Structure 1
């Protein structure tokens, strides 16, 4: 193989690998002062394999800013429309605003999770997230109304159905960012006292708060195997070709 042809193939494989990895989407700061919620809610349209990180409100010790407390729930469409998290799944509890780094949740839009408690997303489906806390510590555990009524909700429309080729669209909204920090990519454990690394994985107590939770959206293994196999194959070919190029 001539050097020029090898470099063309190498570039093609890199593009294939990049498409399998996905895109890191802009961070979402989960507080009412963020103007992305001023229009009645935030709408995001990620592709499968994209990632987004949701950050809790975070404040420096001694700050005079009004401290805000929230719980992020995953709910169904009805709960989203009615601002009702009674049957929701708590994903992130924002109750320690003065810690050294902000609590956060990184969501990887995967079709199949290696963890039985992980989040999974189907192409062409919508997923809903709300906060029904009042913003004050005493109203942290409220499950109806709260900040959701004022627009603190997020709808994720996973692109795309298998029969379509709609491009990835992310609504551009200006976000009010917290002070500089080092992202933790962590979520609280079930007792909400410590953080733990996550690949969309949360504790059993958090993942299954109610026995009647809807598990109907679990994806099939062949879809996962196909995507992972393609990604692994691209990686192997990329490494092998890079080595071969050094021998030319």
Structure 2
């Protein structure tokens, strides 16, 4: 598992032909928003700072910069964030623990576009294509991995849980006053008392 990063600063090439990145399952892609130092504020008063909304779209939306069928993923709306640029991360996982989470399949491409909110030039956008290359464990490897034996206690293994029928051990109740050591103690005390009576 590793991280790739993508900065919305690659403005010209992203606008013309887009950018393609290859990831593996469980990799992270970090998206960095445009960031301006506070020292640049005076210069940027004449020029509006870049701000974008990022969408996940289908191939048609990617080619035409159309966000109508896309889903909004992130918003880069804090170009003067203190200390560092805003970063968003996408994890390319096959299964999501959340009902609204995204799941990504091996061998498929996913498309992202971002549209500027600081100005509008018709249908122009920044494009990113992500190809999910390969799984960390291949399907063949998954099939070859045997299901582990179930272990009840040391040296007893169950190969098929459906056929498991444990012997229920006999339970012995311990009733107060009937344990063998207590009975032995009472017998010893009784013998001592009888001996004392006979000797007197």
**Could you state the TM-score of these two structures normalised by the residue count of structure 2?**
0.59
| Counterpart residue number, 2:36 | 59
In structure 1, what is the Cα distance between the partners aligned to 2:15 and 2:115? 16
What is the total number of aligned residue pairs between the two structures?
A: 136
Contact 1:31 1:68 in 2 (8 A): no
| Counterpart residue number, 1:119 | 102
More strand as a share of residues: 2
Give 3-state SS (helix, strand or coil) of 1:155's partner.
strand
In structure 1, what is the Cα distance between the partners aligned to 2:20 and 2:51? 22
Long gaps (5+) in structure 1: 1-21, 165-221, 230-248
Contact 2:15 2:127 in 1 (8 A): no
In structure 1, what is the Cα distance between the partners aligned to 2:108 and 2:25? 11
CA offset at residue 60 of structure 1?
A: 1.2
CA offset at residue 96 of structure 1?
A: 1.3
Contact 1:92 1:104 in 2 (8 A): no
Higher RCO (C-alpha 8 Å, min separation 6): 1
Q: What is the CA deviation profile of residues 135-163 of structure 1, one whole-angstrom value per residue up to 9, with x for unaligned ones?
A: 52x54xx9x613x2xxx100011113868
CA offset at residue 132 of structure 1?
A: 2.5
1:75 to 50, 57, 61: 57
| Counterpart residue number, 1:244 | none
Give 3-state SS (helix, strand or coil) of 1:49's partner.
coil
1:131 to 114, 120, 136: 114
| Counterpart residue number, 2:20 | 43
**Could you state the TM-score of these two structures normalised by the residue count of structure 1?**
0.48
CA offset at residue 117 of structure 1?
A: 2.1
Give 3-state SS (helix, strand or coil) of 1:132's partner.
strand
2:131 to 144, 157, 165: 157
